[in-house]
């Protein structure tokens, strides 16, 4: 299992990153949001949201908290495998 250091002692396994990218898209669509609208609400560029969802970027813990808050889910829900 590979781990990524995100920020100050915060690590995520590859499988967790896969879950997060999948779930950000799932919850975004469940909320009826486009990547553009989610980016606007999170003060993050829509291109960055797209990169996260495609697994090309790994969001920082700070950005994960912001995205989870806007999507009205916990970080645990974003990382969940279900």
Instruction: Give the model's pLDDT for residue 12.
Output: 62
Please, which pLDDT band fits residue 80 given cuts at 50, 70 and 90? Answer: very high
pTM: 0.82
Instruction: Give the model's pLDDT for residue 82.
Output: 74
Q: Cβ(74)–Cβ(65) under 8 Å?
A: no
Q: Would you state the structure tokens that stand for residue 8, as one six-digit string?
A: 């100050």
Instruction: Give the model's pLDDT for residue 11.
Output: 57
Q: Which residues lie below 8 Å from residue 9, measured CB to CB, with a gap of 6+?
A: none
- What tens digit of pLDDT does each residue of 4-60 get? 444 444 556 778 889 999 999 999 999 999 999 999 999 999 999 999 999 899 899
């Amino acid at each position: 299992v590979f781990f990524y250091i995100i920020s100050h002692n915060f690590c995520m396994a590859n499988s967790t990153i896969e879950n997060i990218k999948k779930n950000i898209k799932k919850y975004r669509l469940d909320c009826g949001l486009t990547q553009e609208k989610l980016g606007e609400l999170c003060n993050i560029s829509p291109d960055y949201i797209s990169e996260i969802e495609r697994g090309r970027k790994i969001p920082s813990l700070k950005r994960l908290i912001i995205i989870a808050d806007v999507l009205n889910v916990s970080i645990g829900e974003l990382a969940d495998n279900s």
